[in-house]
Amino acid sequence: MVSGTKIESGGGPIRYGMVGGGQGAFIGGVHRIAARIDGEFVLVAGALSSSPERAKASGAELGLDPERNYGSFQEMAKAEARRPDGIEAVAIVTPNHMHYPAAKAFLEAGIHVICDKPLTSTLADAKKLAALVEKSGKVFVLTHNYTGYPMIRQAREMIQKGQLGDIRVVQAEYPQDWLTEKAEDTGSKQAAWRVDPKQSGVGGSTGDIGTHAYNLARFVTGLELDSLSADLDAFVKGRLLDDNAHVMLRFKGGAKGMIWASQVAPGNENGLKLRVYGTKGGIEWVQADPNYLWFTPFGEPKRLITRGGAGAGPAAARVSRVPPGHPEGYLEGFATIYAEAARAIRAARKKNGKPAKDVVYPTVQDGVEGVAFVEACVKSSKKNAAWTKL
């Protein structure tokens, strides 16, 4: 039924290490599952916390070889670079402000990097990191995981093939509710660092989820931004970073868009939704029900394309694992980013090797643009929503 990702590879899996993701963290565990799903990666080293004690305790829990269970990422980068069986790649899953120094250390040690988003906590860091990546020649994969969903690949392919005609309107939103009250004051570690400018950067909801919405719109439509107008709020008293963002977009070529990101919208868990309308048709996709894509060609009945079902094309099929009607979810989409990373890293094992043309993942340039988006939102909002370029 589904050709899908080749599930296991004949060659050996990729040895990787992890920075961050120890006890009490959330996204590290997600990365580890994602890395395991297709059997392409094996975790052999870690510096799992900024606290050496917690790092070691976390690594022991995961069964890491004590020798490769490091107290700091600096130590890990050095030691692994020296080992003949050292890691080929590192996954960086720390709060935002640590992405840059950690990525720098591993790139300079000749190790490929898989990095959580947003890329960095400042645009300056982001640009420096992009330069480092280029200089290093290493693979750099940013885990804008929603780009791994099969029906997102499907939507992108349909737009590339012209099935929507010229794009006119993009509506993206990412509402959540978990910061409706002041969770950062009641012991949520997840909340605490996300609302702290020192760890997150200048964006709150814009950085945490707005970037996802923006990245997804860009990934699916291929449109480039001209400028944006943003009206940000921190509705919860005493919160320093935005928890609700209203953004109007003007794309080059005349298309228009809106983004709504919120962490204070009760009843929304991870309500990421993308709608795109062109001269010939529209598409609609909702993250919480990711196996469906509405396709609405103008003047014809609405069609519901299902992952793996009739009407789904090769771009979706190559990242699917199970037949239609058996839902794939968040972890599988995340795993697809890892699978694409694996293809890129395997290609890099060979001299002048390049991944196949259909291998697609978010790059450091996407990351720079994401941070630029956040900073532009903040800048615009401070100027009474003045139109601002990235």
Which residues within the stretch 26-85 sit at the binding site for a copy of itself (CB under 8 A)?
A: 26, 29-30, 32-33, 36-39, 60-63
Query: Among residue numbers 305 through 324, which ones bind a copy of itself (CB under 8 A)?
Result: 305-306, 308-311, 321-324
Q: How far is the CB of 134 from a copy of itself (least distance, A)?
A: 33
185 binds a copy of itself (CB under 8 A): no
| Residue 67 or 300 having the CB closest to a copy of itself | 300
User: What are phi and psi for residue 116, nearest 5 degrees?
Assistant: -70, 160
Identified binder of a copy of itself from the candidate list 135, 253, 304, 353, rule CB under 8 A: 304
Q: At 107, is the secondary structure helix, strand, or coil? A: helix
Binding mask 79-118 for a copy of itself (x = CB under 8 A): ----------------------------------------
Q: Edge-to-edge strand order for the sheet containing 167-175?
A: 225-233, 244-251, 256-262, 167-175, 273-278, 281-286, 292-297
- What does the alpha-carbon distance between residue 378 and residue 28 come to, in Å, rounded to a whole number? 28
Query: Among residue numbers 212 through 251, which ones bind a copy of itself (CB under 8 A)?
Result: 229, 231, 233, 235, 244, 246, 248, 250
379 binds a copy of itself (CB under 8 A): no
| Residue 108 or 157 having the CB closest to a copy of itself | 157
- What does the alpha-carbon distance between residue 185 and residue 187 come to, in Å, rounded to a whole number? 6
| Residue 138 or 156 having the CB closest to a copy of itself | 156
Q: Which residues contact 186 (CB under 8 A, 6 or more apart)?
A: none
CB atoms within 10 A of CB 137: 9
| DSSP string computed for 39-98 | T-EEEEEEE--SSHHHHHHHHHHTT--GGGB-SSHHHHHHHHHH-TT--SEEEE-S-GGG
Q: How far is the CB of 329 from a copy of itself (least distance, A)?
A: 4
Residues shown for the chain: 390
Query: Among residue numbers 244 through 303, which ones bind a copy of itself (CB under 8 A)?
Result: 244, 246, 248, 250, 254, 256-258, 260, 262, 264-271, 275, 277-282, 284, 287-291, 294-303
Binding segment for a copy of itself (CB under 8 A), chosen from 105-113, 122-130, 171-179, 371-379, is: 171-179
- What does the alpha-carbon distance between residue 179 and residue 120 come to, in Å, rounded to a whole number? 22
CB atoms within 10 A of CB 305: 23
Binding segment for a copy of itself (CB under 8 A), chosen from 65-73, 102-110, 125-133, 328-336, is: 328-336
186 binds a copy of itself (CB under 8 A): no
